[in-house]
Chains A and B, each alone.
Chain A
Amino acid sequence: MSLGYYFLLPVIFSFLTPYFKKLGSFTLRGSSILLSFILFVQSIAYTTMKLPQISQFSIKPPLGIAFVLDGYSLLFLLIFTFSAVIVSFYMLWYFKVNPKRDEARFYVFFNMLIAGSIGMILSCDIFNLYIFFEIVGICSYTLSAYNKDKLGLESGIKYLIIGSIASIFIVFAIMLIYLQIGTVNLGLIAQRFHEIDPKISVLIVLMLFIGFGTKAELFPMNFWAPDIYQGSISSVNGLFSSVVAKAYLFVFFHLFYLFGLSSKYMLFVMVIGAITFLVSEFTALNQTNVKRLFAYSTLGQLGILFMALSTNSSETVSGALFHLTSHSISKLLIFLALGILIHHLKSTKISIFGDFKSRFLTIIFAIGFLSILGIPPFSGFVGKILILKGFALSHNYSAIAFILLVSIVEAVYFFRLTAMMLDKKGTKRVVHVGFINYILLCVLAALIVIFGLFPSLLIHYTDLAANALINPTDYLKFALGVGL
């Protein structure tokens, strides 16, 4: 399937959703599953093709607009579409136990969110990138306000305001780039970025940093994030954590490496990532709301990823991408299992971990926690050791010490939850997981274990992605339309 159709498919499904609704809820739910399944299978099919792939619309780039798929975007495509499959199956259970919810409203924005995220990682001109950025943003605002209660609406409006501020910065940056170079094609911008007056280029980089950094939940700009997580439903939390945040992170580093920024910027991003990690993990210790707790944990993991991705060494970047994949799977697992727990216990207090009785969920949570903490034989371990190894090879020992020390803080709250689950005292309520969730959680847990035991399955793709990210020569060739 050509990349253009690949992107258009979820858009079409999204617009058709109201008609599907008329055909009955079975069609509605089935269509979403079918869509995500097609997208996932097609993204697997892309792995067998020669990369990069390009799809141009009528005019050849750099003048026309095009989609380019290289190793870096392929990895994210796999993660996003896989998460979409899992979430669309999970929604079957969700709408079964919450029959009065407006299903169409969810699916319209869900499909559109997937479309926007795909567009964001495929687009090779910065203005289209901005459009997809806005699409993802608008879908996120509405999805976070899916619960029409006080918290939900609060999170929706907060997200809207913050998202608009971020887009203002990005629009200004794009405007400045266009004024200076006269193009919006990423290839041309990358080629001629160094020609810009350094003072202007600092401004551009800073504006992009603030814009994407706000959305990717970097430290001084992430005060809004936990509120959003708190107000929205668990499956949307899973999407935010494993798709939306990762899509912004993708763009952040894609532009970062395309523009060939100097090592000063890299050090800066690394420090900001480290601060994000430190602050989030310490703040998470003090939380009484589970959703907020895992939101902070997500922020912390994003901090590690920012630290590791800004190193410009293919080893560390590959490790970071492995960690990113493993974190996406683990967080999806945790948020989906959390949704089941919250549904049965009707509370989002942290004490619900001590109030349920289900051996299956206990094991699932334990696997998720151990994987995020980077404990073997789960997939998080491989990612973390690859990152640490990369830092060691560049003799950056302070980063190693920092990551390990803060990880102990992280372990405090993860193991507090584990101990609460394992505690035998108190009255416990039996939680029935449900057949679909049982399968879904088993698949996710199995993936965590498989990637932990046989990491070479995934490392192949992360290496490919890391090389494509750090050496974007192939990407540039296609983005410039050379040899088409």
Chain B
Amino acid sequence: MNSIFLLLNILPILFLYQFGGDLHVSFSLTKDFTLSLIQTPLGTFFAYLSLISFLLVTVSQKSKKLSCNYYALQLLLSFAMLIIVLAGDFITFFIGWEIMTWSSYFIISKSNNIDIKSLQKYILFSLASAFSLIAAIVISYSFANSFDFATISASFKSMPFDIQLTLIILFSLSFFTKAGVIGLHYWVVDTYSKAPDLFSSILSAVMSKMGIYGLFLIYGNIVGYQELKIMFGTILNGTDFGYTLAWIGVATSIIATFKAITQDEVKRLLAYSSIAQLGYIIAVIGFGTTYGVAGALYHTLIHTIIKLLLFINVAAIIAQTGKNRFSELGGLIYRTPVSFVMLLIGIIGLAGMPPLGGFASKFMMYNAAINTKFALILIGMLFSGAASFLYCYKLVYGIYLGHPTSKGLETQKEVPLSYLIPQIILALLLVLTGAFPGAFVKVINPILTQFSLKALPYDGVGIMDSAVGNFNGLFIMSAFVAFFVLILLLISRIKSKAKNNINRFDISYCGEVPSKDTSLHYGFGFGTELHRIKFVNAILKRSTATFYDALALQTKRSSELLSRMYYGNIHNTMIIILLFFSALFFIGVNS
């Protein structure tokens, strides 16, 4: 089963490669609706990103016994995303968007630990996002008389300002919901943590990127960065619009980072981290400068790689141990060393440390903020970047280091090869993107041209150019590897005296003997101390859940109130009809 679907996942990649950039198909649905697929550089980038992610996840699904339905739905999802990124008009885009919504809904419902409430959250937020999208689509249709991207883009300039603003807000809301901007992220954490473990990687790495694709489509293609500048005016070296968006993104990333640190469930931490990373992308996406767009695109790529790597890694550990909390894991470094190295590479990328690709993308984004002189934004991004070290540390520490906190962990085996192969490929990609950041310039430049922005200079495959200085990825990587090898040699000379395989309860301190419930992992409860910082505590104790729960409660109450009318007393119905008639008659005759 797995191999068949593996093959079916490769086919679209070959298909896309075959067309080589000039795919143009259209299909007439009715006389008003023509569905069309057009390949743009931006769409192609996202298409490859999603298709390759699906392929890698399918590889790792080999050791899971999944049903044919599951694979078929996943294939449908991949197909829907392909439609979204290749769409040439909004109807096609919307059809892809909705198929994505329901096919992922049915996949998530196949999880063992999903409950009705989380499913409801997911689908209602997705539908709200879709409905805001369709509202924007039909409103733009009323002015452009077409659903075509090109036509709408051409007629956007002639729309009244309030309509332009409404459209931008509606489109943004829709895509923000998918990307999980703070306030609209209520569904994200529950869904990511309760979805099937391997499917979470798709949700975080690919599906959230459809929101980013949508934002690029609207800001870059439909509205156009030049038009945004004219519409909203400029501030410092950037636009007012970009500045507002940057604050939304930075707020998202800071809040989500702190929330991530305090999580005990592994996948919840990754979900919050995903929100935070997308916050960076949203922060720079509106700048409308070459570096802003380049940084957002580069980080999109890097985040996809990292989140695939981390979610597959964690899924493997959860599948192997059956435990999904930091308070139940720990000390797996000796049992699953390869997984540990992969996760280490992943978190180095996630924290944005050199020499991996994570640094290159962060460098680009910081660069964009410096370039537009958004100093506060830069500080915010640096702050949240620094704070993200903490959850990265928690991730590696809670799972692999310290003492094992549960009984079965001492005898774990390395995770199956099907989980490791995609991780190794992804880790290699992360190394390569770090060493050859210049290679990406060639991918970005056509997209920049598509947005009519200045292209990035290309100084060779190892160098990433910027206004404030160059970053030579190849040199740093070589230096780092040399240094690393040196240290490794030194360490290997020291003989370790520590004995392995000691029972974790073979200790006693101050005369106390730990019971079985005592957690000996001294990273236990990591992050709770953050509550002592007033500013962080203020963030942590607030939650959008309060708002949405109140909304649900009010809806329920009004529903109860309205349903009291329908209690089935026929006399009252008759009286109401007669009263209604007399009221109407009175109004009708007198007007």
A contacts, CB < 8 Å to B: 158, 161-162, 165, 169, 199, 202-203, 205-207, 209-210, 214, 220-221, 223-224, 226-227, 279, 282-283, 285-287, 366, 370, 373, 375-377, 381-382, 385-386, 388-389, 391-393, 395, 397, 400-401, 404-405, 407-409, 411-412, 415-416, 419-420, 422-424, 454-456, 459
* Contact, CB under 8 Å: B99 / A223: no
Assess whether A415 is in contact with B124, with CB atoms less than 8 Å apart.
Answer: yes
Query: Is B120 in contact with chain A by the CB < 8 A criterion?
Result: yes
Q: In the complex, what distance in Å separates the CA atom of A202 from the CA atom of B135?
A: 36
CA distance A207 to B112 in the complex (A): 57
A389 contacts B32, C-beta separation under 8 Å: yes
**Are A206 and B584 closer than 8 Å at their CB atoms?**
yes
13 additional A-B pairs beyond A220-B580, A407-B127, A456-B28, beta carbons within 8 Å, are A161-B570, A203-B588, A206-B581, A375-B101, A375-B130, A382-B30, A388-B138, A389-B32, A389-B141, A400-B135, A408-B128, A416-B116, A454-B29
Taking the closest CB of chain A, its distance from the CB of B530, in whole angstroms, is: 35
| Among B559, B566, B585, B588, contact of A223 (Cβ-Cβ < 8 Å) | B566
Docked-complex contact A392 and B139, CB < 8 angstroms: yes
* Residue B31 at the chain A interface, CB threshold 8 Å: yes
CA distance A203 to B29 in the complex (A): 45
Contact A158/B570 with A210-B581, A223-B565, A287-B563 known, Cβ cut-off 8 Å:
yes
Tell me, rounded to whole Å, the shortest Cβ–Cβ distance linking A104 to chain B.
Answer: 30
What are 29 residue pairs bridging A and B, where the CB atoms are less than 8 Å apart in the complex? A158-B568, A199-B589, A203-B589, A205-B588, A210-B577, A224-B573, A226-B568, A279-B565, A285-B559, A286-B563, A287-B563, A375-B98, A376-B98, A382-B30, A385-B138, A389-B138, A393-B141, A393-B142, A395-B142, A400-B138, A400-B139, A404-B132, A407-B127, A408-B124, A411-B124, A412-B124, A420-B116, A422-B106, A424-B112
Interface contact A411-B138, CB-CB below 8 Å? no
A283 touches B581 (CB 8 A): no
Contact A221 B120 (CB under 8 A): no
B403 CB → nearest A CB, Å: 35
Known contacts A214-B577, A455-B30, A459-B30: A377-B562 contact under CB 8 Å: no
B109 within 8 A of A: yes
Contacts of A366 in B (CB 8 A): 106
A contact residues around B142 at 8 Å (CB): 392-393, 395
A260 to chain B, nearest CB (A): 17
User: For the complex, is B556 an interface residue (Cβ under 8 Å from A)?
Assistant: yes
- Shortest CB-to-CB span from B160 to chain A, Å, is 11
In whole angstroms, what is the CA distance A285 to B559 when docked? 6
Closest to B163 in A: A397
User: B574-591 CB contact bits vs A (8 Å, 1 = yes)?
Assistant: 101100110011001100
Indicate if B560 sits at the interface (CB-CB under 8 A). Answer: yes
Q: Which residues of B contact A (CB under 8 A)?
A: 28-33, 91, 94-95, 98-99, 101-102, 105-106, 109-110, 112, 116, 119-120, 123-124, 127-128, 130-132, 134-135, 138-139, 141-142, 555-556, 558-560, 562-563, 565-566, 568, 570, 572-574, 576-577, 580-581, 584-585, 588-589
Residues of A within 8 A of B91 (CB): 385
Nearest-neighbour CB distance to chain A for B342, whole angstroms, equals: 32
> Could you tell me the distance between the alpha carbons of A26 and B5 in the complex, rounded to whole angstroms?
49
Distance, CA A207 to CA B581, complexed state (A): 8
Known A-B contacts A226-B566, A282-B559, A285-B555; the reply to A397 vs B585 at CB < 8 A is no
Question: Are B563 and A456 in contact, CB atoms less than 8 angstroms apart?
Answer: no
Name the A residues within 8 Å of B127 (CB-CB): 373, 407-408, 411
CB closest chain-A residue, reference B577: A221
Q: Shortest Cβ distance from B125 into chain A, in angstroms?
A: 10
Interface centre among B101, B556, B581, B589 (most CB of A within 10 A): B581
Residues of A within 8 A of B28 (CB): 456
Rounded to whole Å, the gap between the CB of A416 and the closest CB of chain B is: 6
Do A220 and B576 touch across chains, with their CB atoms under 8 A apart?
Answer: yes
Q: Identify the closest chain A residue to B96 (Cβ).
A: A376
Chain B residue with Cβ nearest A159: B570
Q: In whole Å, how far is B262's beta carbon from the nearest beta carbon of chain A?
A: 29
Contact between B116 and A419, CB atoms less than 8 A apart: yes
CB distance from B208 to the nearest CB of A (A): 21
Contacts of B589 in A (CB 8 A): 199, 202-203
B120 touches A223 (CB 8 A): no
- In the assembled complex, which residues on chain B have CB atoms less than 8 Å from the CB atom of A395? 142
Contacts of A199 in B (CB 8 A): 589
Whether B116 pairs with A423 at a CB distance below 8 angstroms is yes
Select from chain B the residue with minimum beta-carbon distance to A394: B142
A226-B566, A385-B91, A404-B134 known; A286 and B559 CB under 8 Å?
Answer: yes
- CB-CB < 8 A to A400: which residues of B? 135, 138-139
Contact partners of A223 in chain B: CB under 8 A: 565-566, 568, 572-573, 576
Give the CA-CA distance A197 to B397 in the complex, in Å.
Answer: 87
Q: A158-B570, A203-B585 are in contact. Are A370 and B102 (CB under 8 A)?
A: yes
The interface residues of chain B lying within 8 Å CB-to-CB of A416 are 116, 120
List the 3 closest pairs (A to B, CB-CB), nearest first. Answer: A392-B142, A422-B109, A392-B138
The CB with the most chain A CB atoms within 10 A, among B29, B30, B95, is that of B30
Across the interface, B585 reaches (CB within 8 A) one of A202, A279, A287, A388, namely A202
B424 to chain A, nearest CB (A): 34
The answer to whether residues A415 and B119 also contact, given A202-B588, A408-B131, A459-B30 and a CB cut-off of 8 A, is yes
**Does B99 contact A286, Cβ atoms closer than 8 Å?**
no
> Which of A162, A221, A393, A408 sits near B580, CB closer than 8 Å?
A221
Nearest CB of B to A389, in Å: 6
Q: Which residues of B contact A420 (CB under 8 A)?
A: 116
* Contact of A415 with B128 in the complex, beta carbons under 8 Å: no
Residues of chain A contacted by B132 (CB below 8 angstroms): 404
Given contacts A161-B570, A286-B556, A456 and B580 within 8 Å (CB-CB) = no
Q: Point out the residues of chain B lying under 8 angstroms from A169, CB to CB.
A: 581
Q: Which residue of B lies closest to A154 (CB)?
A: B568
A296 CB to nearest B CB, Å: 8
A93 CB to closest chain B CB, in angstroms?
A: 27
Are B138 and A419 in contact, CB atoms less than 8 angstroms apart?
no
Interface centre among A161, A162, A279, A376 (most CB of B within 10 A): A376
Roughly how many angstroms separate A236 CA and B30 CA in the complex, as a whole number? 34
- The chain A residue with its CB closest to the CB of B567 is A223
User: Nearest Cβ in chain B — how far from A379, in angstroms?
Assistant: 12
Option from B98, B120, B565 in Cβ contact (under 8 Å) with A412: B120
Minimum CB distance partner of A268 in chain B: B584
Q: Are B98 and A381 in contact (CB under 8 A)?
A: yes
Residue on A nearest B28 in the bound complex, by CB = A456
Bound Cα distance from A385 to B131, whole angstroms: 11
Q: Are A404 and B135 in contact (CB under 8 A)?
A: yes
Residue of B nearest to A458 (CB): B30
CA distance A169 to B584 in the complex (A): 14
**Complex-state Cα separation, A371 to B566, whole angstroms:** 27
State the Cβ distance, A226 to closest chain B Cβ, in Å.
6
A391 to B120 CA separation, bound complex (whole angstroms): 29
CB neighbours of A455 from chain B (8 A)? 29-30, 33
CB-CB under 8 A from A287, the residues of chain B are 563
When distances are taken between beta carbons in the complex, the residues of chain B under 8 Å from A220 are: 576-577, 580
Nearest chain A residue, comparing its CB with the CB of B147: A389
A419 touches B109 (CB 8 A): yes
Q: In the docked arrangement, what's the CA distance between A459 and B33, Å?
A: 12
- Asked if A221 meets B576 with Cβ closer than 8 Å, knowing A158-B570, A286-B556, the reply is yes
Chain B residue at smallest Cβ distance from A369: B102
Which residues of A lie under 8 Å from residue B573 when comparing CB positions? 162, 221, 223-224
